[in-house]
Structure 1
Amino acid sequence: MVVGDVTTGTDVLVIGGGPAGYTAAIRAGQLDLDVTLVEREAYGGTCLNHGCIPSKALITASDLAYEAGHAEEMGIHADPAIDLSGMVNWKDGVVDQLTGGVEKLCKANGVDLMEGTARFADEGTVRVSHDGDGQGSESVSFEHAIVATGSRPVEIPNFAFDDEPVLDSRQALALDSVPDSLVVVGAGYIGMELAGVFAKLGTDVTVVEMLAGIMPGYERDLVRPVKSRAEDLGIDFHFERTATEWEDAKDGIRIHTEPAGQAAADGGGPAETADESDAEDELAFEADHVLVAVGRAPVTDTLDLENAGIETDERGFIPTDDRARTEVDGILAVGDVAGEPMLAHKGSAEGKVAAEVAAGEPEAIDYQAMPAAVFTDPEIATVGLTEAKAEDAGYDPLIGKFPFRASGRALTVGETDGFVRIVADDEGYLLGAAIVGPEASELIAELGLAIELGATLEDVASTVHTHPTLAEATMEAAENALGQAIHTLNR
């Protein structure tokens, strides 16, 4: 049947079915609103289909293979055979289970699912174009619209993702064989996570970064163990360099690079903590593929936002307030399109708030205890204020720290790099925390909850933690700030 010139109406129109969008849709359905969710590609968005979930699946699989082949110290001798095609099939099965679950949950909560691309016709209507011959389009009027179209990988000049040897993160996660060699352009969290995956699978990995060190958004002592572990895996780093072009070579491709320039170098952190950079004017690296992972940009160009009277900022994000509202009444934006940090759980939290705002509830977003995690080796996780930001905010912070090398459980799992650090004000109330080490992404939740509840160092220190566990490190870090730590020297 051809659909055209048909107009339907809904209380809440959600554009985009990723974590921010489907969460908003489900919550709005729970609030007894009539909800329509428009998704043009796959329910679950980038996170479930091409990002968070598949990357973590391959990180787990590559960790397992690497650990099995490097456990001689524990008396285990093995030489695992890597079948990347089988590994990817397993990953795809995980993805399919989760995306199918999203569809079922939406339908169970009364959400009307619509496949297609939504473009604003005006501030109260969108036009949804359906893919496929003869499918046509239809108009949907709304009381509230929630924009949740997510983000896409950023391309760089001369490295188009439709060229076969050039990969974005999505394409890298779908390779069916392990490349012998790989150049990764970008040492942010995506580049570092995937560099680690392929290095553990046996790929010769080279990382080219325009800044002076890896993951410049994080404190230097947090990323130092990650870089050290990466070098142990054989990853070769070249800092303050820009990839300029690629060409075919005898056994693959050749990637040309040049110095990035002083402006870029200045973005990599203080000179005294920056990594060494290359002095050569030009360097070229040969590889089977080049993975470009220099960041992500919001997807707003498909929306015809100008028809609704919405302007994006200089980076393409849609400005919003703490209730997810844009400058146009009735239109909200959540997730990656609403600005940094571009995190799935941040988008989900915003989606819930947007749904409640659409229902007339007095809800607002609180970013004070918003965690972030990087699934490198070792993992990094943070929440709240750093020591420097606490000082900038006028606090005289108390700092507690506990190294994993002093943790009995860390020793038993063979993961002793890193530490837990807690930041509190002079009255002991928690302001922030940072963890680099095993299971950091899991351990940060306790400290995020402590900040959310207004807990003190005494509260965390006096909470009895199971022994032996990694979580004891959070208790000891709090004790260290109080001068009471048992298993490390007090500050």
Structure 2
Amino acid sequence: MKVENEARQVDVLVIGSGPGGYTAAKRAADAGLHVAVVERNRIGGVCTNVGCIPSKALISEAHRFEIRGQSNINFEEVQSFKNAIVNKQSNGVGFLLKNKNITVFHGEARFINDHKAIVDNMDSEIHIRFEHCIIATGSRPIELRAFPYGGRILSSTEALDLNQVPESLIVIGGGYIGIELGQTFARFGSKVTILEGADQILPGFEADMTRPVVKKLEENHVDIYTGALADRVEHLQDQVTVHFKENGNERHVTAQFVLVTVGRRPNTDGNLGLERIGIQLTDRGLIPVDEQCRTNIPHIFAIGDIVAGPALAHKASYEAKVAADALTHRHAKVDYKVLPLVVFSDPEVASAGLSETEARARGMEVVTGRASYGINGRALALRASEGFVKIVAEKETERIIGAQIVGSEASNLIAELALAIEMSATLEDIALTIHAHPTLGEIVMEAAEAAIAKGRRG
């Protein structure tokens, strides 16, 4: 029988300790509020434990393995390295919360009313009364009915925790998770097949940005099928066969494991009890919020993967700051004009702001500038000459409104251009900024110069 503890009183209850949750908790605590965080799994949430951090650790190790040109890999050592990073990050978040005097409750939260929640753990029920609440419960991998998780059918969570490199792997879904993990295991030596339902991998990015990634995947002996819809799976003794339609044609492929990466589902169901307190949900299970991340109950906020928009850790942490500031009556509202999108593929892909296609679809007259990695000294020295930087600007004002990068360190280079868009900087602001030589940042400068030249030629 569980023990019911005396109700605790807090100013802010944060449900979830991922990038959204712990950022919101820290921000509210810094404002002098008494904050409690509830986490049902490990501190740090999906990103720290089974998402961004472990996947990037494996990606980096696969890159080093490929560079060394080794024929054998000690995958136990790789996983040990990954787990050490995850533990350090999770412990770091825990230390941050403790250092801010934030109370952490381990267990599963459920609402009793709009000012009270219960945290269920193994031994007790902890009652918490709150003035404000920030829901940051994150998401989980979508499970296809024909491909239920278990055994040889993996979600990204199980794939990151494999104890050996698969001999062969079928990836259903060619979005950023499927490409990152598929390419990683291909570099470790797996025979990888990617099935993507759209007409290109990484749908949402312009086709010229995906071509260098496709080229590298083919060098890694990855088979790519686009216009491919997975139909059913056949379980063999130690393998699985996936039957799919490629542009209407019946096909099949056999591998040791299947990895399903077709998106993520918001964690708004289960025992949380949103319907009990009248929180509205969309058909997709998302929580509608206003520009301050308030739900239809004004003192309850929702952020991250459970609200509209891409499921990105940096989006969640951004919304966390807005929500925490709003509940302390500061003027704050979300503005997604500059939300960087990054794929840690090889080469990396990154974008911010509007693409040329999106800008023209809005009726904007634009000018673009493009510069290649192929003539950059630093890129050549890194043996990373594949890729380009493209900048999109308003033609009349030369104000930068978008940028796309495919190439080495795109994930880092996009920050300069994201800041430029945020500040309404012009092409000249970038072109006349002295960039160190030799660096990849010079490609950004050259793209701005190319746009200026093109625009002034008319």
TM-score normalised over the length of structure 2:
0.96
Match of 1:335 in 2: 304
TM-superposed deviation, 1:238:
1.8
1:120 and 2:111 are equivalent in the alignment: yes
TM-superposed deviation, 1:456:
0.7
Per the alignment, in what secondary structure is the counterpart of residue 482 of structure 1?
A: helix
> Residue 472 of structure 1: which of 442, 446, 450 is its match?
442
- Segments of structure 2 that go 5 or more residues without pairing to the other structure are none
> Residue 141 of structure 1: which of 129, 140, 146 is its match?
129
TM-superposed deviation, 1:278:
5.1
Per the alignment, in what secondary structure is the counterpart of residue 262 of structure 2?
A: coil
TM-superposed deviation, 1:2:
5.2
Match of 1:348 in 2: 317
Match of 1:129 in 2: 120
Letter in 2 for 1:40: R
Match of 2:177 in 1: 190
Letter in 1 for 2:346: D
Q: 1:471-490 counterparts in 2 under 5 A?
A: 471-483=441-453
TM-superposed deviation, 1:367:
1.3
Match of 2:27 in 1: 27
Cα pair 1:324 1:350 within 8 Å, conserved? yes
1:152 and 2:140 are equivalent in the alignment: yes
Change (3 A) 1:253 1:392: closer
1:97 and 2:88 are equivalent in the alignment: yes
Match of 1:292 in 2: 260
TM-superposed deviation, 1:5:
5.3
Cα pair 2:367 2:454 within 8 Å, conserved? no
1:38 and 2:8 are equivalent in the alignment: no
Letter in 1 for 2:124: G
> Residue 442 of structure 1: which of 412, 426, 433 is its match?
412
Letter in 2 for 1:107: K
Match of 2:379 in 1: 410
> Residue 174 of structure 1: which of 137, 155, 161 is its match?
161
Q: 1:301-320 counterparts in 2 under 5 A?
A: 301-302=269-270, 303-320=272-289
Per the alignment, in what secondary structure is the counterpart of residue 306 of structure 2?
A: helix
Match of 1:207 in 2: 194
Match of 2:65 in 1: 65
Q: 1:333-412 counterparts in 2 under 5 A?
A: 333-412=302-381
Task: State how far apart, in whole Å, the 2-side matches of 1:386 and 1:462 are.
Answer: 23
Cα pair 1:238 1:278 within 8 Å, conserved? no
Letter in 2 for 1:424: A
Per the alignment, in what secondary structure is the counterpart of residue 319 of structure 1?
A: coil
Cα pair 1:68 1:80 within 8 Å, conserved? no
1:10 and 2:1 are equivalent in the alignment: no
Per the alignment, in what secondary structure is the counterpart of residue 249 of structure 2?
A: coil
Cα pair 2:368 2:454 within 8 Å, conserved? no
Task: State how far apart, in whole Å, the 2-side matches of 1:115 and 1:90 are.
Answer: 27
TM-superposed deviation, 1:341:
1.4
Identity over aligned residues, as a percent?
43
Task: State how far apart, in whole Å, the 2-side matches of 1:279 and 1:110 are.
Answer: 59
- For residues 393-447 of structure 1, the C-alpha deviation after alignment (integer angstroms, 9 at most, x for no partner) is 3321111110111211111111111110011112111101010000000000001
Cα pair 1:320 1:327 within 8 Å, conserved? yes
Letter in 2 for 1:474: V
TM-superposed deviation, 1:90:
0.5
Moved more, 333-342 or 473-482: 333-342
Task: State how far apart, in whole Å, the 2-side matches of 1:454 and 1:211 are.
Answer: 34
Letter in 1 for 2:212: P
Letter in 2 for 1:452: E
Cα pair 1:167 1:290 within 8 Å, conserved? yes
Letter in 1 for 2:14: V
Per the alignment, in what secondary structure is the counterpart of residue 183 of structure 2?
A: helix
Q: How many residues align?
A: 455
Cα pair 2:109 2:120 within 8 Å, conserved? yes
Task: State how far apart, in whole Å, the 2-side matches of 1:369 and 1:30 are.
Answer: 26
TM-score normalised over the length of structure 1:
0.90
Match of 1:245 in 2: 232
Change (3 A) 1:279 1:315: closer
TM-superposed deviation, 1:249:
2.3
Cα pair 1:84 1:175 within 8 Å, conserved? no
Per the alignment, in what secondary structure is the counterpart of residue 341 of structure 1?
A: coil
RMSD: 1.6
Per the alignment, in what secondary structure is the counterpart of residue 483 of structure 1?
A: helix
